[in-house]
Amino acid sequence: MDGTLVDSSAGVVGAWELFSKAYPGIDVQDILSSAHGIRTVDNLRAHCGLTDPVQLEAEAERFEQAIVDTASGEGRQGIIRLPGVTAIMDELYADPDSKWAICTSATRVYATKALKLGGITVPKVFVAAEDVEKGKPAPDPYVKGAAALGFHTAEARANTIVFEDAPNGILSGKAAGCQTLAVLTSHRRDQVEPCQPTFLVNDLTSVKLRRTEQGQLELKIKSLV
């Protein structure tokens, strides 16, 4: 979701800057270089030293609300829809039975708010941080999402495609046995290419989605690799 459908980077920066006041030992710039695509609870555990499950959950909720609250503050751009997303969403929305899912490292509460701000309707299959025991780069989010769409086997997942922007997400999709398409919206090419995604594009304007006369979805990808 973040970095693929919507850009919430302004709010993420604001949230970490806010949290650095409560946890003065953290290095915001270092965190920003590696935290994308990882569940908030996992980031807080790693960078803020939190271990108590109740405190982790409360702080994760506070952090993700801070993303929403700070995204538009101090002249920031807010949470916005990324280039190329509108055309793809229009095709998916045209058929209520389209088999697509969102599998995000964000919590359900935050992800729902972010999608609303980006003008994106939550799909029927929506896997959030709290829905899996292990988050990305583990395969769990995409295995669960594929199964909910009816793709239960490794062979079936090989015919699905994961759209990702973060190395951890690409590795998660590959571990699940899916094809992967990486967008260079939050990471540099040299950070993404070592993950060896199936396809690599600058953003989703390089991806065209259309419905065939047989009712199938056809993808045309102008890949950089």
- Whether the predicted pLDDT of 159 surpasses 90: yes
Question: Are the C-beta atoms of 68 and 117 separated by less than 8 Å?
Answer: yes
Q: How many C-beta atoms surround the C-beta of residue 29 within 10 A?
A: 8
* Confidence label for 138 from pLDDT (cuts 50, 70 and 90): very high
Question: Are the C-beta atoms of 161 and 220 separated by less than 8 Å?
Answer: no
The class that CATH gives domain 80-221 is: alpha beta
Query: 6 or 214: whose pLDDT is higher?
Result: 6
At residue 10, the pLDDT reads: 86
Provide φ and ψ at 169, rounded to 5°.
-70, -40
At residue 12, the pLDDT reads: 87
Reading the block at residue 13, the tokens are 């920066």
- Whether the predicted pLDDT of 156 surpasses 90: yes
The model's pLDDT over 44-70, given as tens digits with 9 standing for 90+, comes to 998 998 989 999 989 988 998 999 988
At residue 78, the pLDDT reads: 86
- Whether the predicted pLDDT of 135 surpasses 90: yes
Hey, which residues does 103 pair with through a beta bridge?
Answer: 127
At residue 31, the pLDDT reads: 86
